[in-house]
Amino acid sequence: MSDRQAAPVAPAAGEFEPRIVGFFCNWCTYTAADLAGISRLAYAPNVRVVRLMCSGRLDPQFVLEAFRQGADGVLIGGCHPGDCHYQEGNYKALRRIMLLQRMLKRLGIEPERLRLEWISASEGDKVQRVINEMVAQVKKLGPVVLRPRFAPPHHVEKAAELAAALAEGGAS
């Protein structure tokens, strides 16, 4: 087998394997991923791809939900600037990603876990490289550790105490 076709090495028992969600533009990155598969370019199997019509249509809630559901990283792939099939969708994606990275930092999630790449339909080799790089980077970061939910507001705790006291007093 050549380097191009080398099979990914199986992880050692107990080794952390990151879960990455990929949101790929239908016209460019998704097609490039298909090309990588057809060309038998081996890349890490850690990415689960969701096809979007345009990277600019990615709702930021999808990214946050991916992390909430256990993703260790999110990869977004879109058309190169100026080549968007929807004119300016990739610019919209770039603005959203910049804001999301700041938000993730505030939530205690490393901004490096969210990555945006411009990959055209003919760049199957770039899909391979980017996925392998991202998997390696997220492995170094380790699993996502989400902060516990905020403690309930003070008045909710007081209401629970009052309800317990009433239950005790009403039973005697």
Least confident piece of the model among 59-68, 100-109, 141-150: 141-150
Q: What pLDDT score does 3 carry?
A: 47
Q: What pLDDT score does 165 carry?
A: 74
CA separation (Å) from 149 to 68, 69, 145, 152?
A: 11, 14, 12, 9
Query: Phi-psi category of 41—alpha, beta or left, where left has phi over 0 and alpha has psi -120 to 50?
Result: beta
Q: How confident is the model at residue 147 (pLDDT cuts 50, 70, 90)?
A: confident
Q: pLDDT above 90 covers what percent of the chain?
A: 74
d(CA 40, CA 33): 11
Exposure letters 108-137 (e unless 16+ CB within 10 A, then b) = ebeeebbbbbbbbbebbbbbbbbbbebbeb
Neighbours of 139 (CB within 10 A): 18
Structural domains of the chain sorted by starting position, each given as residue range(s) with its CATH number in brackets:
3-7+17-171 (3.40.50)
CB 74 within 8 A of CB 113: yes
DSSP category for residue 53: S
Joined tokens for residue 73: 């990283």
CB 6 within 8 A of CB 34: no
pLDDT tens-digit profile of 53-92? 999 999 999 999 999 999 999 999 999 999 999 999 999 9
d(CA 117, CA 111): 14
pTM reported for the whole predicted model: 0.79
pLDDT tens-digit profile of 3-17? 454 445 555 667 899
Mean of all residue pLDDT scores within the chain: 87
CB 114 within 8 A of CB 100: yes
Of 130, 28, 24, 116, the closest CA to residue 79 belongs to: 28
